[in-house]
Structure 1
Amino acid sequence: MQLVEDDKYGWSAKPSSCEKGHAPKEISVDFDEVYKSIILPAINLINGTNLGIKIDCTRGEDLLDGGNIVSQFLQKICQAEITITDVTGFNSNVIFEYGIRLSVRDSLNILLCHEGVKLPLDFAEQRFKTYHMGLGGGNDAKDYIVETIRHALPLLLAEKSVESVENLFRRTVENATGRTQERRLMEVFEPAPDLLVRLLNALNTICSEANAPGDKKVFRLDPKLRDETWKLLEEIGKTMENSSNLSRAIELYELLTKLEGFREKRRDVFYNLNKLCSANPDFKEKAQFFLERGIELED
């Protein structure tokens, strides 16, 4: 769900729609039906009121962008202003996602569960709303979602965007041997994690549009986002003290020079890289290379 004016999200976590959740013996739940008959109608009711916001409801299977699906999924969970989680059947993936959510953000988290399901003690003590799939069995749950969100909206609108996404990446976006490209980017962008999230989202959009069928177009990075990234990298370059961090910054610089929107500043990029490398004895050869590339672009 996205509170459009503040660019905030909400998230609906539940077992995959093709999966039947089995509570004790006779209870079997179609989670896709729960989503369509309880969650979506509740959100539509809120969107139908004149509150100055629009909530866009999203599920895991709605993620269509290319790239690492796990990273995207966990990032959405952490960024969400509102989450609605169905714990019927105590699906391990859903519980894992809910635990991650609580560890990085404690804003509005609504729990649903089918009537008659016995939950473990830790969950039984949580506040959750029950429903059943018979005629009118979801009305109370739907009303509960509407009222809970309405009461929480003033606080949600005043809340700052999540700044703990970097912690999530550090715990989850690592392979068995240690570092991945995402991890290295997180370290370079540590002073401004929100900027990295926006940059990656923009690059994902550019890649998706570039790969879409039809006539190929030139896609440019938003100038404001480009300049913010540029400024951060310049500041990082001034304060780098070890070769490994400088190497990561250079790696990102070189990546960005290949993008439309940064190409028009390539000469400045190469001169700046020359300055960064000249200050470090380990990068003298690179410094000369970047200087020559900058000179080539003169006039």
Structure 2
Amino acid sequence: MIAPRRFLPSIPSLLALEAVDRLGSAVAAAEDLSLTHSAVSRQLKVLEDQLGVTLLVREGKGLALTPAGARYAASVRDVLEDLAQASLRLRARGSRGSLNLALPPSFGLYWMGPKLHAFMAEHPQILVNQSTRLARFDFGREKFDAAVHFGPEDWPGTEALPLARDRVIPVCAPSLAEGLPPGDPAALRALPLLHLESRAGAWESWFDAHGVTPGELRGLLFDQFFAMAEAAAAGFGLALLPEFLARPEIDRGRLVAAWPDYLDQGGIYSLVWPKNQAPEPALQRFIDWMRERAEL
């Protein structure tokens, strides 16, 4: 339910307050908003009278927000940003349905990307918006319909559709693989090893699974799979990559497998969506479509 009109300030007043807070003066705010200085001052006065709270005080020739004004300006900025994003999404999709997805960058690009392209080709009436997220978030606060989650089904308040297993393989540039003895996993320890920040201990787990004592495994550290893949292709070292990224790079000849088999590490990529509400038609159609194409 929307609050009574008397509690809802006008958009021009809120824009004036946000601009003064961001720029530090009514003069700068007026220039930013393409208004006169007096027009900005009037909007601020109207806002203070409506709220009954002092939001700004004069400091020399300028204005400064009171503590209450600064807190209110921060909330106003969030509201204006939400309104702008909602307007942008509406303008982008027009009369079509829309679907807002949160995806891990590498999985979203290499595994989900081709499938989204096919889904939109089959359902041109649905616009799929994509954003990058690496960690869980609150569906009640973020404007997403669904997300891809890596790990166990431990995202509270969500339904889950398993999509793909986490299978990895050591890869490197073709020149770096020359001279590696076949069938000897311990020999890989002699090569520079590349590590991913979010997969601490991945190499240790790989060597343990192949009966090799890992020892001290030092090397370059990366925050994204595709950045690590680029470094491996450039010859910086050996990367432990997921199948969805390693396979196309091997097919292209940029990387070669330094070990013949993929290792299932037990992790799962899943599509998740809020449990406490029925999916909108666009989301339900996407869930049904993905259910037929999931690898699990």
Q: TM-score, normalized by length of structure 1?
A: 0.25
Q: TM-score, normalized by length of structure 2?
A: 0.25
Q: Higher Cα Rg: structure 1 or 2?
A: 2
Decide which structure has greater strand share. 2
